[in-house]
Amino acid sequence: MSNLLQEMKATGTIIEKVKAYNDANRKVAILCNHKRTVTAGHANAMEKMSERIKGLRYQKWRLKMQMLDLEPNLKKKKGAAFFERDEDLDMEWIKEHQAFLMEEQTQKIKKKFEKDNEKRVADGEKEMKVSELNERLEAVKEMKEKFTKENKSGKVEAEGRGPTVEKLEAQITKLDQRVDTMSVQAQDKEDNKEVALGTSKINYIDPRLTVVFSKKFNVPIERFFSKALREK
C-alpha cells in the first residue's frame, strides 16, 4: 500500500478520491486473497442505483424542455442534440417513473399529515380531518394531469417561482454533479463486490498510511474509519 500511495495521483471530488483509495485497497486485498461472496442484495442495490441515476437524467431532460418553453429559439442556439432525450429514457420507462414519483409524493404527504396530527395531539389540539389530507393529495392529482399533458404534447411547461433559463441551467449543473457522484459510487460498489476491503484496510494496511492519504488529498478521515476505530 505504501508503494501504491507514492504512485497515486488522486484528483477530482472527494468521492473520486475515495474511489482511488478503494482501488488501491482492492489491489492489496487481492494480493492477500481477501475475497468474499457477492452479497445476495448486490444486484438489487445496483439496480436501484441505476434507476436513481436514470431518474436524475430524466429530471435534467425536463429542465431542458422547460428552457425551451421559456425560450424556443434556444434549440437553434444550443443545437437540437442538447435537448434530445437519452435513448434509454423511453416512454414506457418514463410512465413507470412518473408513477413512482406520484406514489413517492403521496407517501410524503400522508406521512407529513400523520406527523402534523401527532404534534397537534401532543399540543392538546384537535386532529385534522381526512378532508385536509384529501386536499393536500390534490397536489398528486395535479402532478398526474401535468405528466399526462407532457407525455401527449412532448413539451414541459416551466415550473417554480419566476423561472429563468439561467436558473434552469444552474439546476442542470447541480444534477450533472449528482449524476457524476452517483456514477462513481456505483462503479466503486461494482468493482469491490468480490473483495473484502474492510478486512484489508483494518488488518493489513498500516492505518498511518490511510491517515497520510487523508491528509495528502484532503479527504476527511471519517470517510475511511468509523468513530470507534478512530478512537482506538
- Same domain for 182 and 75: yes
- Same domain for 31 and 71: no
- Stretch (H or E) spanning 47: helix 42-70
Question: For residue 144, what pLDDT is reported?
Answer: 98
Indicate if the pLDDT at residue 206 is higher than 80: no
In a domain, 47, yes or no: no
What is the extent of the structural domain holding 140?
A: 59-193
Mean pLDDT of 101-110: 98
**Assigned C-alpha cell, 188:** 466503486
pTM for the model: 0.77
Question: For residue 152, what pLDDT is reported?
Answer: 96
Mean pLDDT of 128-143: 97
- Same domain for 200 and 99: no
In a domain, 52, yes or no: no
- Same domain for 96 and 8: no
In the residue annotation, 58 being an active-site residue is answered as no
| DSSP letter (8 states) at residue 222 | G
- Same domain for 127 and 78: yes
- Same domain for 162 and 121: yes
- Same domain for 98 and 25: no
- Same domain for 179 and 211: no
Q: Looking at residue 218, which CATH number applies to its domain?
A: 1.10.132.10
* Set 83, 93, 204, 225: catalytic member: 204
Confidence of residue 96 (pLDDT cuts 50, 70, 90): very high
In whole angstroms, what is the distance from residue 183 CA to residue 191 CA? 12
Question: For residue 207, what pLDDT is reported?
Answer: 75
> CB-based contacts of 109: which residues, under 8 Å, 6+ apart?
133, 136, 137, 139, 140
* Helix (H/G/I), strand (E/B), else coil: 36: coil
- Same domain for 215 and 130: no
Q: Per the structure, how many domains does the chain have?
A: 2
- Same domain for 122 and 90: yes
Question: For residue 33, what pLDDT is reported?
Answer: 66
